[in-house]
Amino acid sequence: MSFTNLITTAIDSVVDDIRNKPNPTVCELGNQRLKNNKSRSRLYQRLGIHTTPTSTKEFFLALGFTKYLAIDVNTDMDAVAMDLNTDISKQYNWTEQFDLVTNNGTGEHVFNQYTVYKNTHDLTKVGGYMIHVLPFYRWVDHGFFNTQPNLYPCLALQNNYDLKGLWIGTSNGDRLEKCAVEKLRRYKGYRNDFQLDTWERDPMVCAIIKKNVDAPFEIPQQHLYSGENITSDEIGKKYK
């Protein structure tokens, strides 16, 4: 997976808070490939990085993180080999947590979407951040799935997260649009609002989430089919 300008911009939005934590740590789902260019150099300057990192590990260490880990199906680029289709807390007895966990262009390649979000939740410390950057519109036959923006308000509500940012953007960071979260219950107009068919690059969704409580991960119900649409008390009491 490529470590893009979009994920770098998302990290920039929370890095000051993370830097204030003692010995901040980071875990990436998927080992990331970093390619440097002029626009990335400008992002480095904005982040206070005065070197040119050659890997995402170097990037995070330059930001002030004290530990870096990636999880993938191989051990390339400082990764630990674990199957993200499984619940890694059960499959590998994994208990370590991090101040920042990123799912940057990885989750769409994992068939078990439940474990993608449960593992991300379990890997994140209370007070830590999760950043998801995933394909949204077009991206024909790229991964198994494209992700819709309305997932993240539902996920945040069910798990008492703070949804700090929800964007539609391009991987190079040239286009970035903020989603109006209050519209997402029944809103499907992003294609026209942002003229997505005219974008030179396929749009991605970016969600920046803060974990607030130490509680087990809970599956959300899509808001479109919640509330009065659920007539079973047994089902309804499971969802917020």
Q: What is the pLDDT of residue 183?
A: 63
CA distance 85 to 92: 12
Phi and psi based region of residue 15 (left: phi greater than 0; alpha: psi -120 to 50; beta: remaining): alpha
Give 32-79 pLDDT, tens digit per residue: 999 888 888 899 999 999 999 999 999 999 999 999 999 999 998 889
CA distance 132 to 155: 12
Give 3-35 pLDDT, tens digit per residue: 999 999 999 999 999 999 999 999 999 999 998
Residue 212 exposed, middle or buried by CB count within 10 Å (0-12, 13-18, 19+):
middle
Domains of the chain, earliest start first: 2-236 (3.40.50.150)
Q: Is the pLDDT of residue 189 over 80?
A: no
The terminus-to-terminus CA distance of the chain in angstroms comes to: 34
Q: Evaluate whether 218 touches 141 at the Cβ level (below 8 Å).
A: no
Name the phi and psi angles at 238, rounded to 5. Answer: -80, -20
